[in-house]
Amino acid sequence: MSDSAKRPAAATNGDNDQDTKRARLAQIVQDQQLLASQSIPTPHTPKVIQTIRLPDALRKKILITGGAGFVGSHLTDRLMSEGHEVVVLDNFFTGRKANVEHWLHHPNFSLIRHDVIQPILLEVDQIYHLACPASPPHYQYNPVKTIKTSTMGTINMLGLAKRVKARILLASTSEIYGDPEVHPQPETYWGNVNTLGPRSCYDEGKRVAETMMYAYKNQNNVSIRIARIFNTFGPRMHPNDGRVVSNFIIQSLQNKNITIYGDGSQTRSFQYVDDLVNGLTKLMNGNYDSPVNLGNPDEYSIKDFATKIKEFTQSSSEIKFLPKVADDPTQRKPDISTAKRELDWAPCVHVEDGLRKTIEYFRGEVEAAGEIVPTGPDAAKPKGGS
C-alpha cells in the first residue's frame, strides 16, 4: 500500500487516541466531583453521607481534637455533611482510623496524627476539644497522661484559639459532679469529688480544664463554650472501653454472663450520640458561654438496663453481680433546663431506638472479630488496631 493510502488511517487512529484521552480525562473529573460530594462506603461506615458545597463566606475550617474517637467521628460526619472543612487531630490511643476512613479521600477533610499535649500551629475558625480517654479503664491506665491531656492539652488548644481568634468548645463531663448529693444535677452544683480516688485523674482534670477555659475568657477574651456530657452511646463505641452499654451488649450477643459491679441499684442516664452531636453544634454556634449539661434525663438502674439489653438481643446470658467499683457514683441524671432554655435542645432519640442501632453495630463487630472479651473495671490499655 502507498504512503498516501496510509495517512488517513494514521490520522483516524490519532483522532481515536485523542477521543480516548478526552474520555478518560472527563471520567477522572467526574470521579473527582463525586468524591468531593460524598463519603466512600467502608465496612465500618457503609452508609454514604452526602456533602454540600458551601460558599467561601460560609464555610468554616474546624478542628476536632480526638476526632477519630466515638463522639468525634460522629461530629466529623455532621460537619462534613454541612460542607465545612474538618481537621481531625488524634493520637489513636482510643480513637480508630476506621471511624473516619470514609472521609480520607474528600478534599475538605484532613487527618493529623498528633498528641494534644504537644503544641500545634494551625489556622482554624472553631475548635471542638474532645481529646481525652473517657472510659474509666482507659483513663486509669495512665493517670498522669490523662491529667496531662486535660491540662496541657487544653492549654495548648486555648493558646491556639487565642492566637487565631477561634471559638473553642471543651468537651467536659458529668464526672465533674462526682458522686452527687444533689439529684438531678444542675450546672450550679459544685460536685462531690474524691480528689485522691482512682477516677480523680479524669474528674479533676476536667474540672481544672473548665477553670482554664474561663481564665482565658476573662484574661484574654477567648470565645469559649463548655459542654458537660453525660453517658452517651451509639455505633463506633470502642468495643473494649469497659463501659456499661458496650460491655452489656457484647456479653449478651455472645451469650456470656452480664457482669454488674455492685447490686445494680445505681442509676445512669443514657443519650444517643446523634442527640449529643446536635447539642454540641448548637452550643458552639449559639451565644451562651456558661457550662451546659448535655444528656438524656431518662434514668435507668443498671440492673434494669442490663435486663433490657438482654431482651433486645434475645440472649441466654445470666446477670452476675460482682463487688462494687471504688468511687462508682450511686446516681447520675442531668438537669437539662439550661440546654432547653438557651439552646432549644433536648434529646430526640428514645433510648430503646438507639439501643437497637447500637446492638446491630456491635453484632457486626463481634462477627468480624470472632470473639470480643469485654474490659473489666480495672485499668486497661485499649485493645485492637485503629
DSSP annotation string for 26-57 = HHHHHHHHHHTSBPPP-SS--S--B-----TT
Question: Can you point out the beta strands (E) in the chain?
Answer: 61-65, 85-90, 109-113, 126-129, 167-173, 224-229, 232-233, 258-261, 267-269, 271-272, 292-294, 299-301, 319-322
Stretch 264-270: mean pLDDT: 94
Any bridge partners for residue 268, and if so which?
300
Catalytic: 202?
A: yes
SS3 for 222? coil
Give the three cell numbers for residue 13: 487512529
Give the three cell numbers for residue 377: 473495671
Share of the chain above pLDDT 90, in %: 78
Any bridge partners for residue 260, and if so which?
321
Q: Is the pLDDT of residue 23 over 80?
A: no
Distance CA 26, CA 137 (A): 52
> Which among 128, 177, 202, 272 is annotated as catalytic?
202
Q: Is the pLDDT of residue 5 over 70?
A: no
Q: Is the pLDDT of residue 14 over 70?
A: no
Lowest mean pLDDT among 227-236, 290-299, 367-376: 367-376
Q: Is the pLDDT of residue 259 over 80?
A: yes
Give the three cell numbers for residue 88: 481531625
The pLDDT of residue 327 is 82
Give the three cell numbers for residue 114: 498528633
Q: Tell me the whole-structure pTM to 2 decimals.
A: 0.92
The pLDDT of residue 242 is 86
Stretch 346-370: mean pLDDT: 95
How does 92-106 read in b/e, with b if 16+ C-beta sit within 10 Å? ebbbbbbbbbbbeeb
SS3 for 253? helix
Stretch 5-21: mean pLDDT: 65
The pLDDT of residue 384 is 63
